[in-house]
Every structure is written in structure tokens, then in C-alpha cells.
Structure 1
């Protein structure tokens, strides 16, 4: 009998649209702002309307085909998507000037790339007519035998060797460039007011309002609140296992009046995952599809990290846990735990995701998170 329900957030409770908007704006800024590569810098501005944001996203992510490609590979973190997209464009730009900048390119692609290095590259690119080409990403990466984040990161190194004859491991792991991507993304998503508390670093580019107060829910907020109420009234434990940072989970839950339904001890976010990786680096990466997020959410944050990492899988009580998610990464994490899984068709791919979930034999496939009530309460009645 199901006793615990663990919800993912993006694509289940809250729309991913604003995250994808922020991701596209981040890649766009890194390419166009004078704070970074500064290409066609007259195109860059801070205040944008929804139509302009949609246009940028359609360009950067090729009408979301790039995002769908990432999702098909089990990639669930927007920061990783940004890093891969921008790093590919960086390689593409440098390929156009390899004849003139071979020595510099060798230096840049074999050592850490931080913002100061990006400014060096900006200065060099300004001498030439290098152009951005967003539509090459899919065609290039279709050649990659990649089924994980690590494979995708490593393929950037493969491209460097193919295009420049340079052997490097620069792109294999989170690095200075990944951190630059993360910080710009946080500026767009949380806004000036929250950047310092979110990242520990001040804004590079001021003037961003952020999207925290403009979240889109995937059902009426009061109806989702009613779902939480009915589940807890039935004696079920509910928790959250999300790739969002704590700030971006708690703030929206507060203003949507959802937080009071949860024990904060069972809300696990990217912050807890990063802390676990920091304390136990040999276990990294721990983000989904690794089941750590959901294991910690089920056990509670009072449970030592080491205990969650060393727990035997599948869990002894796995059949009593229902994970509710929208992605292949959620399904794979649930499967490793030995838990049950409900897929909701409100993520990026919408109804088109049904086929993939059927192929992976998801136990439940739902049109909305609100449908969880029927399957779980029926389960409780049978129990």
C-alpha cells in the first residue's frame, strides 16, 4: 500500500517554462553581453517583454528541439543544459578563427575558462566575423553516443579534438565556466534582490527583476493545495524531491500557500544534493537520475547523508513509495529505488511524452498531477 508520495516540482506542480526562458536568456547574454563574449552587443538588453523572450528562446533552443533532446538523454538540470549549449557555441566560434588564433585557442581549451578568459576571447573575436549557429547543435550531438550528462559533457571534449586536434578534459566536469553559466542563470531567475543569497556572489549585470514572483502553476493553485490536504488527511506522508534550489522552491510554495502542507524536513532540493556531493565527492553526481534526492526526501533531512548514500537498493519499503514526476530522469530514479512511479504529461514534451513513458513501462501515466488523488486514495481504500 502506498504510504508516501514524493513530488517533483518542475513539470509536475510548476511549469518549467520560466526556467527554460531563463536558460535561453542566459545563453543569449553570454554570447551578446559585453560582460562576456559581446557578439553583436547592440542586441543585448535587460528589460524584455514576453514576445521578445519567446523569440530568444525559439532561436537559442530551436523551438525547444534542443531542450527535448536533453530530456531524451535524461538531463534534468537547466544549468547543465545552459553549459552544454553555450560551450558548443564557444567551440563553434573558435573553430571559425582557428587559423588566426591557434595558439590562444590551445591555451583557452586546456585550462579553466572563467569570465576573465571570456573577455579575452571577446577581444580576439572582435577582430573577425565569427557568427553564432544555433541550428548545428542537434546535428552535431546526434553523432554522440551519449546517454547521460557525463557522456554529453565528454562529447564536448571529443569535438575539441576533432576540430582543433587538441586533447582536453576541460568540459568533463562542473568547472569555472559551468559556474559562470549558473550565476548568469540565477540573475535571470531570482532577480537582483535574491542573487547574493542564492549564489553568494553579487550580480554582474544589474537590472533583472527575476521570475520568482511570476511562476506558472500546472493546475489552479487552490486545487493543488486541496490535493495536498486530502492526501495528508488520508494519513499519507508527502514530500518534495526537486532539482530546484531551496530558494526557488520555498519562495513560490510560500506565496502559493502550499508550504503549510509539508514537513520542511521532507523537502529536498538541489542545495541538499550539492551539499551531499561536497561532503562525499566520490559519490557525485547525485542529481537525478541518481535516486539520492528522493531517498533523502523519503527518509528526511535529519537522516545523515552517509546513511542515504549507503542504503541498500531497492529500498525495503519501495513499494510503499510513489514518485510523481514528468521526466525520464524521475522514472529512472524511482526505478533504482524500487518505488512506484506516476508520470504526468505536463512537462516539456506534454502528451508526446506518453510514448516514452509507455516504452519504459511507467506504472501510471496521468494527464495532471491532480489525478494522483484517485490512484492513491483508491490504493488506500484497497489497503
Structure 2
């Protein structure tokens, strides 16, 4: 069902102007025909306009577009109801002009003899009677304020009672004889004499009506509509309709435009189905207790999405399908039915209408339906959800609920994202299905291809303590893993707490001891799983996505090429910047230490050294064991999850991500907090960049670094050397892989995220990682 897109018609695909003209012509006939109210005191025959231009001109004098748009914005969505609102207001106004309308009680404006009496009393009034559309400003008065849709229409009896000084009840209600009378006149004008006679079995009360249906045009040229609808079908969507139009009035224009072929018949719901369902409710529960099912009631949208849906059944979970509409009624009804609602601006034709549409809070707003296919592609992209989780979490959760339905067939009751600073290229959270909760996580690699994505079983068999997934999705660009919920704390959170002085859950000693225990276990796993891999096998390892593919595959260019590196502000003044492409050629000095190589030289060298297409002795490793992917189980054991980059690869690469991210990267995850105490100065001296900063590792991170070197990295080097498995360039390989971590995990020049001082700290670490002495040298 998640692949259903339900369109409103008027204001979205079809133009409502023919309907609007119809509504105004009904009111004009009532006001000026000698057969009805005849306020112009005409003695002749009423002649209907015969062309589209004349019809529009005559209608607009009685019911201007601005009035209709205002009614739409107030959720008076049906054009029958729009016409009826004008009927009620003008009739009540004319009744109020009479010296005494008591003789006309009870009001029966649908009956011919009452109309004759009313017309006679109007004829006795002195002078010509004028009609002013400003009457519609009554909706701003206290009696109507705060009401919309059908509730607004139901206020007309109270309004008539107030204006006329008489108790009026039921005369101006929706579905009253007055409403039926007005609706029948509307159908005469819209269908025209020939089509009306064929449809209803009798001729209109007055002859000569040509039928506004024949003046209809699509809202946009069909040359624009065809490609948009074809694109949606190509994306796998089934198209439906939920319209207030009757069946024939919906199908005929779509056939005339050549659009009907794009819509699935079982997903087309018109007023005919709504009226049938309402009759069923009245038959079961009585007329007084039967609710109206017209918009903004969700019935029509739910029925279009699910043809088996019946009134009173529970709404679908939010995100179950898509609704495209143009009014607040569409927004409210679609949302209540469980849809993601896209509002188009083609039906909101005034600033006021657009403001009211925005206030109804659709999930997305686009200019017209030609923009819908691109939006749905964006909605279905997990990268969109990853970005939104920090700024519009509720919307991100809604889109993810739709994604779960679309790609995994899961009708989730609720989804809760847990945005964390560590979620730089991923997101995770919990969804509820029935009484059970499940944890989910995905990686978003917008420029990469991961041939093998989740390898939990491989790690489990190798001896890793890992949360094993319950379900996975392996689609290019659409990758998700579902786990049982784990309630152990995450090492990332524990480290940050201790780093900032909170030792209520963990201490430095406890974390270091856990790291020592895990280093010893990793060393055993490396020793047990070491074996040779060919160049082709090694090149296919997913871990290279974190290093070589990022530096050669577009991310480096997209992050930095052509960008300006802003210099840190001095006091209150910005002091310009340096183009990144120029910065590539500079030598670096950081805190008084001269570093080898320019950034450009190191990047080019990394493209060679990190090239995975070489034979190697490999181990089974997690690949991305930063602390965002590690629980601490029972305060002592690491419990891994999300093995997105796991597989068989070099053990030297396996240790890189945890070495950098668990020790050095606090500035990357908490840039604004780090910036508060950070002092950075940058000086350009000839061809050298000189950076001075006061950033130092917290004691817990320094202790972790020393533990990693002592209990894993050092013994690993000795083991590999003894096995003749330590490459000649091992130190350069590790240093350049470490360099990739600060350079390519996040965009260091993202001004929305990174203050300039933190950007320079990150760039300094790029150079420092490439020159890191503490890991040792090849010799």
C-alpha cells in the first residue's frame, strides 16, 4: 500500500475554474431570473450565457475568485458547498431587507410557491437591489470565527436566526432540502441541458444552459502532466484519486485529457462512493448519528489507498501512502488517513490562501505536480532522512515509517530516531511493531557502492561478541539492518560522560580495563583468522569504502574542490580565507612542529598506498569499530553492532577507525562545544601554514590510546612481522588511513556545522595523522 499516491483533482490536476463559474452562474440565476428571486425586477426571459468568456464574466461579478479561494482555505472544499455558502448568505441578506419576513416562515426556499411569495415581497422594496460580494466577510465575525469545513456551513442557521431575529433551524443545514435544491441547479449549469437530461432523466428547469463542463481545461498543459505521471509509474507507484466530484464529472475530463490511463480504477474514489458509504451509515445508525464522510474526513483518502477500507476502521499508520492535494481539507484528511501529505500551490491562488495552506502543516509543499516525482525520489532516499534527523526529527521519522512500509513491508506503530553526534553518515533508532520493539540502523554512503553490507554472522563465527541482526535490506542506496533492542550503554556516551567529568556510570579505570580486555580478544581473533587474500579479493573488501574509495571516488572533490577555507576570526573580525586548492600546496607547522609533505602530496600518495588492489594477509574484522558501534556489556565486555564495513581485510586497516575516532575526534562530534574553549591561530608565512592550538586529549582518551598501542597495535605488529605479513610500507599505510578519518568523514568546511577554528583544528589533525610518530616507522 505504501506505493499508492492519491491525488485530489481540482487545483491539482484539473482546473476548478469551470466549477467556480458554475457556482457563480447558479447564484446569478437565482438572483436575476424571473423564475426565482428576480432582484432586477426583470419582466423578460432569463437568457443563460452561451460562451466560456461570458460565463466567467457573469459569474465573477456574483462570486469572485477571491471569495472562492477564501472558502477553500477554510476547508469548504466541495464546489457544491462553495455554491451553497453563497446561496445562504445572499438569501439571508435579502430576507433581512424585508420589513417583516414572518409571513415567509417557515422558510422553504426550495419550493416554488414559497419562492413566488418571496419574489413578490422583494418586488415591493423601493429601488434596485444590489448584491455585494463583501457579504462574504461575515466569516471573520465571532459567530463564524474558528469554524471551518462542514462545521462552518452548519453555522448558517444560527447566523440566519441572529440576522432575522427569528428562530431558524435546519433550513440552511448541509444536506437540507435547500442544499439539494442548490446542488441540482449546480448540476444543470455544470453538465448543460443535454448531458443533464441524459444523466437525470429530465430537462433543466430553464432551457439553454450550455454546460460549463465543456469549457474545462487541465490545470497544466498535458505535455507537462504526461511525463510527471509516467515518471511516478516508472518509480513503481500506483496512482489513485480522491475527489469531491461525482463520478462522471471526474472521469470525463480525465478521458478528454488522455490522463485516465495513468490511474488504477480500483483506487479512484469520487463523491459517488462517499455518498454510497454515507447512505450505508444512515441505514445502520440513523440519519442523525451518521457522520459526513466528505473531506476533511479521512474516509475518501483511506478508501482510495485501500479499496477494502470501510468507515469506522482504524486509520493506517502515518506514512502508509502519499496524498497530493491543494487545500487544508486535503492536508487534514490525508494526515488523518495515515498519509504523507504533499501540498501543491496551484490551487492556492492568493497569498492568504497559501498562508492558510502552510498553516495546515502539510509534510511538503511544491509548486505543482510536476515536482512530485523528484520529491518522492528524495523522500525515498535514506540520505534525506539522515540529514533531517537533526533539524526536523518528526518529519524524518514519518519518512522512515514510509520507507519501512515501502521496502520492508512493515506497518510500524511508531518510530523514534535517536540523533547523536556520532551519526555522521548514519542514523538509528527504535521502531514498535505490536508489543515488540526493535533497533534499526543504516549507513548512508551517497557516493559509494557497498557490495557486501552486513556481515554479522561472519564476525560471530570468528569470535566477536556482536549483536546479530534479525532482518536486513540489501539494495543499492537502500540499506537497513534491524536488531533486537539492546539496553546496555554505548561506549561513545560513556566516554563522553567521563571526558566531561560525569563518572556516575563509568570511570577511567573501568573503561581502560574493558579496552585492554577487548584488545587481547581482538589480537586472538586476528591470529586465528589470518590468511592470504588475492588482490581481487582484497579490493572487494567493504572497509576500503572508508578510505581509498572516499579519497578517489568523489567525496574529496565534493567536500573541498573550489571551496574557501575561512581563517579563524580575530576578536570580532573575520580575516578572510585561503582557497582549498591553494592550501594543498602549503607546508605545515603545527604547535611548532614542522610536518613532512604538503596536503596535496599526501592525498596523492594516499591514492597509491591505500589502493586495495594488492595481495595481502588478511583477518576477519569489524572495520568500523568506533565507539558509536560498541555497547559495554555488564561493565566489562564490548558488544559490537552495525558491521557495515566488516569482512576480510588487512588488520592494519581494521584498527584505524577506532584508533582515530575513539581517541582524537571529540571536536568532530561536538564542534560547538569544543569551539568554546578552543584557541587557534593561523599564520601564512611564505609557503608554510603555521597553526597554533590548545587542543589536548582528555585523560580518558589518552589512556585509551596508550592501552590500544600497548595491548593491540604493538603486539599485532610483532605478530605480523613474525608471520612475514607486515608490509614494507605498513607505517605509511596506517598514517595515511588515519589521515583520511579527519579529512573525509565529515566536510571540514561545512560552515553550518563547523566554526572556522574547529575546521583548522581538523585540518591540523589531518596533517598530524599523516605524520604520527607514535605508531612507529617501517625501519
Give me the CA root mean square deviation: 2.4
TM-score (structure 2 length as normaliser): 0.45
Say if 2:346 and 2:368, in contact at 8 Å, map to a contact too.
Answer: yes
Say if 1:73 and 1:146, in contact at 8 Å, map to a contact too.
Answer: no
Question: Offset at 1:352?
Answer: 5.5
Question: Is 1:364 matched with 2:364?
Answer: yes
Cα distance, 1:287–1:223 mapped onto 2, change above 3 Å? same
Distance (whole Å) between structure 1 residues aligned to residue 56 and residue 45 of structure 2: 15
Deviations 1:148-195 (A, max 9, x none): 334333332223222332112121232222112111111111111221
Look up the match of 2:341.
341
Q: Could you say which structure has the higher strand fraction? A: 2
- Say which SS state the counterpart of residue 285 (structure 1) adopts: coil
Question: Offset at 1:295?
Answer: 1.0
Q: How does 1:1-383 map to 2 (within 5 A)?
A: 2-40=2-40, 41=42, 44-61=46-63, 63-99=64-100, 102-108=101-107, 111=108, 113-129=110-126, 131-143=129-141, 144-169=144-169, 170-199=171-200, 201-281=202-282, 282-300=289-307, 303=308, 307-313=309-315, 315-316=316-317, 318-349=318-349, 353-380=353-380, 383=478
Distance (whole Å) between structure 2 residues aligned to residue 116 and residue 146 of structure 1: 37
Unaligned runs of 5+ in 1: none
Question: Offset at 1:142?
Answer: 1.7
- Say which SS state the counterpart of residue 342 (structure 1) adopts: strand
Cα distance, 1:364–1:163 mapped onto 2, change above 3 Å? closer
Distance (whole Å) between structure 2 residues aligned to residue 335 and residue 29 of structure 1: 39
Unaligned runs of 5+ in 2: 283-288, 383-477, 479-779
Distance (whole Å) between structure 1 residues aligned to residue 167 and residue 348 of structure 2: 36
- Say which SS state the counterpart of residue 191 (structure 1) adopts: helix
Cα distance, 1:199–1:332 mapped onto 2, change above 3 Å? farther
Question: Offset at 1:299?
Answer: 1.0
Say if 1:246 and 1:269, in contact at 8 Å, map to a contact too.
Answer: yes
Distance (whole Å) between structure 2 residues aligned to residue 192 and residue 200 of structure 1: 11
Cα distance, 1:351–1:146 mapped onto 2, change above 3 Å? closer
- Say which SS state the counterpart of residue 119 (structure 2) adopts: helix
Cα distance, 1:150–1:250 mapped onto 2, change above 3 Å? closer
Q: Give the paired residue count.
A: 371
| Greater relative CO, 1 or 2 (CA 8 Å, sep 6+) | 1
Say if 1:192 and 1:208, in contact at 8 Å, map to a contact too.
Answer: yes
Look up the match of 2:540.
none
Say if 1:145 and 1:151, in contact at 8 Å, map to a contact too.
Answer: no
Structure having the higher Rg = 2
TM-score (structure 1 length as normaliser): 0.89
Cα distance, 1:222–1:51 mapped onto 2, change above 3 Å? closer
Question: Offset at 1:18?
Answer: 1.0
Deviations 1:16-50 (A, max 9, x none): 11111111011111111122212224594213444
Say if 2:76 and 2:150, in contact at 8 Å, map to a contact too.
Answer: no
